[in-house]
Structure 1
Amino acid sequence: MKLRTKYILFVVILHLITLVLTYFIFEQNKVFFIVSEVFIIISIVIAWQLYRQLIQPLKLLMQGVDAIKDKDFNVKFLSTGKHEIDELINVYNQMMDELRTERTRQEQQHFFLEKLIHTSPTGIIILDFDDRVQQVNPKALQLLNITEEQVHGYSIHELEHPLFKQIGELKSGETAVVKLDGVNSFKLQKSHFVDRGFSRHFVMIEDLTAEILAAEKKVYGKVIRMMAHEVNNTIGPVNSIMQSAMKTDQLWESHDFDSLKDALQVAMDRNQNLNLFMRNFADLVKLPKANKQPIILQKLINSVAKLMAVKAQENGVAFEFNLPNDAINIMADEQQLEQALINIVKNAIEAIEGTGVMKFTAMPAERKLVITDSGKGLNAEQHANLFSPFFSTKKDGQGIGLTLVREILLNHGFEFSLKTVAEGQTEFTIHYN
């Protein structure tokens, strides 16, 4: 039963009882009876006025509660001239002003935060309470090379992208640096915030590729220059002494010294090979800026294939070409790009055990060149370190070939990747401009 119903019922019953009692008490005295009835009528009027004065604040309170339920903080009440009600109205109006101000502040902060997340140069992934992807900013989509539809609403444990596997293994507050394909490196930082009393995670992804490549080049460049300096300073005088000795006929008049003469010649040849070895390393440091000129991609591929044809035949490898008839014009340094393709083809030939096939596929619409080989493929460790300086999968490898390829393609601003996509199918993909 509502409060006002109780009040009305109480007043009605009270006055009915009073009316009956006055009738029995003053039935003999009409004057007193009339006077008592007048007092009862006055009491009813006063009770009604009190009811109206008491119920009005309740009505105002109910209207205010309804406005708060509807989140309408613009509803305010005017003063009535009655002290008690005006006090209540003033408190309510102040509360509504504070709520409106706080809502405006929260909306501004939310808008600013959304704008900040959307335009952030750092990739941001926000998860819900069940670690499902709720929001991904454009930078994260770019770094992951995916669309929002491919990840939104999915659990990070369901997604196959290697970065999400790393994210799933991270705990809140942890940071990890992940190198996916031997070139691109990412810093992952996982943290959490409290939403409606429950913990939710978010992940920040930062591309460290440029910084790490620059740091690597600075370090190995310094090492190579130091090695080249020491080797040249040693080999030069030693070769000069041996050449002088070889040209002094008096030292070799006796046949007893023929073996020594042969040993000196072998030592000179080894020194020459060491010079060549160091020169290959020095090429990484001295690589000039790409002198880009218009070239035809099919012509460059055919030139490299002819150059590597003998080695391919010796290893039982056949070349296949899937190239369009229309010329594909690209801007590149022909000599540098040719050297990069030679190294790629050479590595692919050596990766094929026994007979096999190499295929050159050009996709003009996607501005992409794919070189596929039927070799044994790459394992996880090899894939992560492929383009690292001095890393080689061959027993006697120097780890220069793919590092030089990396530097040349980065020098051109070309994106690239090397990965085994299926058994007997490894692809080196170059996205040219």
Structure 2
Amino acid sequence: MTVKMLSKLRFKTLHSRLITACICSCLIATSLVLLILYFKNVDLSQSLITWVLALSLALSWLVSAALLKNLNKSIQALQVSLLNLQDGEFNATVSQTSNDEFGQISQQVNQVAAALRQQRQNIYHRELLLDKVNQNSPLAMLLFDQNQRLIYSNLAARQWLNKGHNQDGSLLSDLTLNWPQTISQAIEHGQDGLFTLEPITDGEKEKENAKANSPKNSQEAHKAESQTWHLSTGDFQLNGQQHKLYLFKQLTREFNRQEVSVWKKVIRVISHEINNSIAPISSMTHSGKILIEQKGDEKLSLVFNTIDKRIKHLSQFIAGYAEFARLPEPQRQVLDWPAFLNELQQQTQFTFQIQAEQQDLQQLKVDPSQFEQLLINLLKNAHESGSKPDAIKLDLQTQTSQSLALLTIEDAGKGMNEQELQNALIPFYSTKQQGTGLGLALCREIVEAHHGQISLQNKVEGGLQVRIGLPLE
């Protein structure tokens, strides 16, 4: 009956169960002693038995409490430590006061906490690295949840679409109201592919110029030409919810490089074939001129002189194309920009202004000979645009927050129409009767060889503005 009663008892803690077990053991032992004495005919009074049992109960309680005191503390320490681990707090440890089983368990709990701390630290560093990669990636990243709400955008996306502002939490439908229609259509289409952003019109340029007189970043330097972008999309589960990832990559520069590379190959082939034909013609013309001079035939002499002049002109023409096709790798170095521009003023007329600290200009490295050729070509075009010489200005400024140098050349000439603006940087395109179509193409090649960007746009008050963005090292 006593066993049944004990089996029905419910003890909430291990400590209470152990104390009860000790007390029961002591009572059982005392009862056995009393039974042995009883069967040996030892005269035991009822009061003596009661006092013996009471004393046994009290002593067993005190001894059990004393022995289990440290055990209770160890159990509480383990309980607190496990609760900390459950709450994600991995810095708390269990103090080891003994070398028994509880000490071993405490050591194992501490080892688990240390492993979890190290794992969390590794995850934190990986997250920092991933965020650093995402923020410095040229890819524009947009992540939307299942409600089409923006939950992540990297720096490239914010600068491209939101002028650097963070709009996390906004709905896709609200964001696309301020985006170019081409981007909205590409997202709505929902498939990987290429799309083209057309240059803004003069009316849109006037509105932007009214807001800001200078470009905020290098992206604005490309608004005067078409841009080719590639959109990649991806769907995945995150925290049990469906998410949509959009990756935008600008391929304009890559396509331009491929285009220029093709033109260079064509130029090299054509130059080789023409030079192979010019060499014997020039030799035969020279021999013919000698024979005609001996005979004194003025008409034939005029014919051969004309052929000789055209051969020389064609040779110079091919040499110009060959220079474009064989542009060497730039040997970049720090320039003394005031001295460099003062020396350039000896060759052509213009005014310049430098809005940059000397320490910032130390980070701008260019090839002196190539940049001299670049600026001479641009200034020559400015003079030929019909602008007054004193209206031709060059401005150099730095934007250290974006690691960018901006070089602007502007005139007060007739400017360009939309078709000319779109095609001016393409090789062989020229609006001049005697033009080769290589001047601005060579300028773009030089700028892109310096990892920069060049664009042309009309000014509101008239004239043309050339913008060159160069990275600071």
Q: TM-score range by the shorter chain?
A: 0.5 to 0.7
**Structure 2 matches for 1:206-285, cutoff 5 A?**
206-248=249-291, 251-253=294-296, 257-285=297-325
The equivalent residue for 1:339 is 373
Which whole-Å CA distance do the structure 2 matches of 1:287 and 1:230 have between them?
A: 20
Which whole-Å CA distance do the structure 2 matches of 1:145 and 1:421 have between them?
A: 25
CA displacement at 1:282 relative to structure 2: 0.9
Which whole-Å CA distance do the structure 1 matches of 2:299 and 2:255 have between them?
A: 51
Q: Secondary structure at the match of 1:413?
A: coil
Q: Does 1:382 align with 2:382?
A: no
CA displacement at 1:206 relative to structure 2: 1.1
The equivalent residue for 2:178 is 159
Which whole-Å CA distance do the structure 2 matches of 1:358 and 1:221 have between them?
A: 32
Q: Secondary structure at the match of 2:317?
A: helix
Which whole-Å CA distance do the structure 2 matches of 1:395 and 1:249 have between them?
A: 34
Q: Does 1:186 align with 2:224?
A: no
- Tell me the TM-score normalised to structure 1 length: 0.59
Q: Secondary structure at the match of 2:391?
A: strand
CA displacement at 1:143 relative to structure 2: 5.5
The equivalent residue for 2:155 is 138
Aligned counterpart for 1:123 among listed residues 140, 157, 167: 140
Q: What is the identity percentage for the equivalent residue pairs of Structure 1 and Structure 2?
A: 25
The equivalent residue for 1:302 is 342
- Which region of structure 1 is more displaced relative to structure 2, 226-235 or 144-153? 144-153
Contiguous gaps of at least 5 residues in structure 2 = 1-85, 87-125, 200-221
Which whole-Å CA distance do the structure 2 matches of 1:243 and 1:151 have between them?
A: 75
Which whole-Å CA distance do the structure 2 matches of 1:351 and 1:368 have between them?
A: 22
Structure 1 residues 269 and 332: CA distance shift in structure 2, 3 A: same
Which whole-Å CA distance do the structure 2 matches of 1:152 and 1:344 have between them?
A: 46
Which whole-Å CA distance do the structure 2 matches of 1:133 and 1:379 have between them?
A: 39
CA displacement at 1:396 relative to structure 2: 4.5
| 8 Å CA contact retained: 2:158, 2:166 | no
Deviations 1:324-354 (A, max 9, x none): 6986555322111100001111222233467
CA displacement at 1:156 relative to structure 2: 4.3
The equivalent residue for 1:412 is 450
Deviations 1:291-319 (A, max 9, x none): 2233211222233333123xxxxxxxxx3
Structure 1 residues 234 and 184: CA distance shift in structure 2, 3 A: same
Structure 1 residues 150 and 267: CA distance shift in structure 2, 3 A: farther
Which whole-Å CA distance do the structure 2 matches of 1:265 and 1:152 have between them?
A: 76
The equivalent residue for 1:172 is 190
CA displacement at 1:216 relative to structure 2: 1.8
Give the AA of the match of 1:259: K
Structure 1 residues 333 and 390: CA distance shift in structure 2, 3 A: same
Structure 1 residues 353 and 133: CA distance shift in structure 2, 3 A: farther
The equivalent residue for 1:41 is none
Give the AA of the match of 1:293: Q
Deviations 1:395-429 (A, max 9, x none): 55322111111111222233433333534252423
The equivalent residue for 1:291 is 331
Deviations 1:193-243 (A, max 9, x none): 699xxx997643112244323322321111001110111001111011011
Which whole-Å CA distance do the structure 2 matches of 1:349 and 1:156 have between them?
A: 44
In the alignment of these two chains, the number of paired residues is 311
Deviations 1:14-50 (A, max 9, x none): xxxxxxxxxxxxxxxxxxxxxxxxxxxxxxxxxxxxx
Aligned-residue RMSD, C-alpha: 4.2
- Which region of structure 1 is more displaced relative to structure 2, 289-298 or 149-158? 149-158
Structure 1 residues 376 and 203: CA distance shift in structure 2, 3 A: farther
